[in-house]
């Protein structure tokens, strides 16, 4: 989606190697052939507002960063992120779509952020592994970082201060032959084992973030859902047909709720604060705690709102919405767009679902179909197509309070949305070549590039170009909404050998692994 208005993208300066970093050796774990069985991979993880949306009837835009697909097998870390394989996923069968464990992040409160002063990459520190690892994972929460490497089948985890690289603790975890992901939260570090068969349980460990000691572990299936509540972990246990609230400190049940028959959609309630939290390459925002309510949409079209503190039913209504509808629980309301031509967008008060709905938008003709639904800076944004033709896609912004179309803009080929404060990014993927257009609050395109966008907070973003490329490295640029002049700042290029799929960041630092260790770079100051 090149546009001459923005001029050519200048090549960013190369990133100097971190102090003390060794020359990258030949990779002894070249990517193996992709598994032939659909779903043979790590569980997919999902997010509410702030995640790249994929409105397939599972929790969209806040909801689904991408539908489950075929994530990389262990050792295959140089491939496009899951949200970039949307075209391939869209052709999968329904049975493949269910092959994923899903992590949902609820809202967290956050104030407005100032524009960052982006700088050229500078090396902070390097943490070397004891031996080269076929699986390397990272996570960052605030000023604390984590790096994990597979050593003789075990997972060795190191906690460190992102600003200095000073190590806080080390821990070795046993009990799984392979590993897929680590997730940093305020209440615990989650470590998830890898299992190719979604019907076979895989172990999830929860570590104390201050000491690394194991608090508890639990076996979960690949088609379960996991999401964060206040001091608890929500678990959609499909094997038992229950929605459970697990205490993050002990792993014990705080509450259990029986689920209706079939495959329900479960999504947390989100707020504008979600648009202020960083997202990763998957589109998942960092974990937080906010509204603490959960919406359960059953195949019989009944909807229940569950209190995440004690599991009680706050509100319920029959014949309201189904799992195939586009759903968004946002700012205390449930937004519903029926997945059909000539659709309407309505919302309902989560505290009183039985009350009259609020009408927000109606498609201007019977040929228009809703593709995506996302929160975007106090509004609700839709991707809308005519007769399923991607070339006709438009981005529509709708008033989330009083209803009514605010603006629409051409977005040909766009498949996913990401809110960045008052801006919204629309991502396309043609022949596995990602590109993105960013629109301002008035619907004007302000940035158009190859690559993808990740959010740092509600005022700043990064643009990454070259994700998944075999050679050349990934170039990184930063952009601040306030004072935007039309050109992102080129902060540098990651060296070859970096496993960019497993990079993590906060608002000022980037943490990236290779097979032998982890490097920390700074790219912004206050």
Give the separation between CA 414 and CA 383, rounded to whole angstroms: 8
Residue 345: CB atoms within 10 A of its CB come to: 24
Q: What share of the chain is helix, strand, coil (3-state, %, to 5)?
A: 5, 45, 50
Give the separation between CA 80 and CA 100, rounded to whole angstroms: 18
CA-CA distances (angstroms) from residue 143 to 147, 195, 288, 395? 14, 31, 15, 36
| Token code pair at residue 419 | 């809110």
Q: What is residue 472's predicted lDDT score, i.e. its pLDDT?
A: 63
Q: What is residue 313's predicted lDDT score, i.e. its pLDDT?
A: 97
Q: What is residue 25's predicted lDDT score, i.e. its pLDDT?
A: 31
Q: What is residue 83's predicted lDDT score, i.e. its pLDDT?
A: 36
Whether residue 426 contacts residue 443, with contact meaning beta carbons closer than 8 Å, is answered with: no
Read off the pTM.
Answer: 0.81
Give the separation between CA 491 and CA 14, rounded to whole angstroms: 9
Whether residue 142 contacts residue 168, with contact meaning beta carbons closer than 8 Å, is answered with: no
Query: Which residues, other chains included, contact 466 with Cβ-Cβ below 8 Å and sequence gap of 6+?
Result: 451, 472, 473, 474, 475
pLDDT digits (tens, 9 = 90+) for 328-359: 999 999 999 999 999 999 999 999 999 999 99
DSSP 378-427: TEEEEEEEETTEEEEEEEEEEESSS--EEEEEE-TTEEEEEEETTEEEEE
Q: Could you tell me how many helices (H) and strands (E) the chain has, helices first?
A: 2, 37
Closest listed residue to residue 119, CA positions, set 235, 227, 13, 222: 13
Ranges of residues in the chain whose predicted pLDDT is under 50: 1-110
For residue 63, what is the DSSP state? B
Query: Which residues, other chains included, contact 469 with Cβ-Cβ below 8 Å and sequence gap of 6+?
Result: none
Q: What is residue 49's predicted lDDT score, i.e. its pLDDT?
A: 45
Whether residue 353 contacts residue 334, with contact meaning beta carbons closer than 8 Å, is answered with: yes
Q: What is residue 290's predicted lDDT score, i.e. its pLDDT?
A: 65
- Identify the sign of the CA torsion 396, 332, 223, 279: positive
């Amino acid at each position: 989606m090149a546009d001459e208005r923005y001029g050519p993208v200048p090549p960013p300066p190369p990133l100097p190697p971190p102090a003390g970093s060794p020359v990258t050796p030949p990779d002894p774990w070249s990517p193996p052939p992709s598994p032939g069985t659909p779903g043979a991979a790590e569980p997919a993880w999902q997010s509410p507002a702030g995640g790249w949306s994929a409105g397939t009837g599972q929790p969209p835009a806040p909801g689904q960063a991408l539908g489950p697909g075929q994530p990389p097998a262990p050792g295959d870390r140089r491939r496009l992120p899951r949200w970039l394989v949307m075209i391939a996923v869209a052709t999968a069968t329904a049975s493949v779509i269910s092959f994923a464990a899903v992590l949902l992040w609820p809202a967290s409160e956050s104030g407005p952020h100032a524009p960052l002063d982006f700088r050229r990459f500078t090396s902070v520190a390097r943490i070397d592994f004891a031996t080269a690892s076929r699986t390397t994972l990272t996570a960052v929460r605030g000023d604390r970082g984590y790096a994990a490497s597979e050593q003789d089948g075990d997972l060795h985890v190191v906690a460190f201060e992102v600003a200095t690289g000073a190590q806080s603790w080390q821990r070795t975890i046993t009990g799984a032959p392979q590993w897929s992901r680590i997730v940093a939260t305020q209440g615990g570090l989650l470590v998830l084992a890898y299992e190719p068969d979604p019907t076979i349980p895989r172990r999830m460990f929860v570590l104390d973030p201050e000491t690394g000691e194991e608090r508890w572990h639990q076996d979960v299936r690949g088609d379960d859902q996991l999401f964060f509540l206040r001091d608890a972990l929500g678990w959609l246990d499909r094997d038992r047909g229950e929605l459970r609230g697990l205490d993050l400190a002990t792993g014990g049940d705080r509450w259990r709720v029986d689920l209706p028959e079939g495959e329900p959609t479960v999504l947390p309630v989100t707020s504008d604060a979600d648009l202020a939290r960083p997202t990763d390459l998957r589109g998942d925002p960092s974990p937080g705690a906010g509204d603490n309510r959960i919406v359960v949409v059953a195949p019989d079209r009944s909807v229940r709102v569950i209190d995440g503190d004690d599991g009680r039913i706050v509100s319920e209504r029959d014949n309201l919405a189904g799992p195939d509808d586009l759903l968004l629980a946002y700012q205390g309301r449930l937004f519903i767009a029926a997945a059909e031509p000539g659709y309407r967008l309505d919302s309902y008060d989560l505290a009183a679902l039985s009350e009259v709905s609020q009408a927000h938008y109606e498609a201007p003709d019977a040929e228009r179909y809703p593709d995506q639904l996302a929160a975007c800076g106090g509004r609700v944004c839709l991707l809308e197509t005519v007769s399923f033709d991607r070339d006709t896609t438009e981005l529509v912004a709708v008033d989330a309070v009083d209803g009514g179309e605010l603006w629409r803009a051409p977005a040909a080929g766009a498949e996913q949305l990401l809110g960045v404060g008052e801006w919204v990014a629309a991502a396309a993927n043609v022949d596995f070549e990602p590109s993105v257009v960013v629109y301002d609050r008035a619907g004007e395109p302000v940035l158009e590039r190859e690559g993808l966008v990740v959010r740092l907070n509600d005022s700043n973003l990064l643009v990454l170009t070259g994700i998944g490329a075999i050679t050349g490295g990934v170039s990184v640029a930063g952009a601040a909404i306030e004072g935007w002049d039309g050109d992102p700042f080129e902060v540098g290029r990651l060296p070859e050998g970096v496993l960019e799929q497993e990079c993590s960041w906060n608002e000022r630092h980037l943490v990236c692994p290779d097979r032998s260790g982890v490097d920390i770079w700074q790219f912004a100051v206050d």
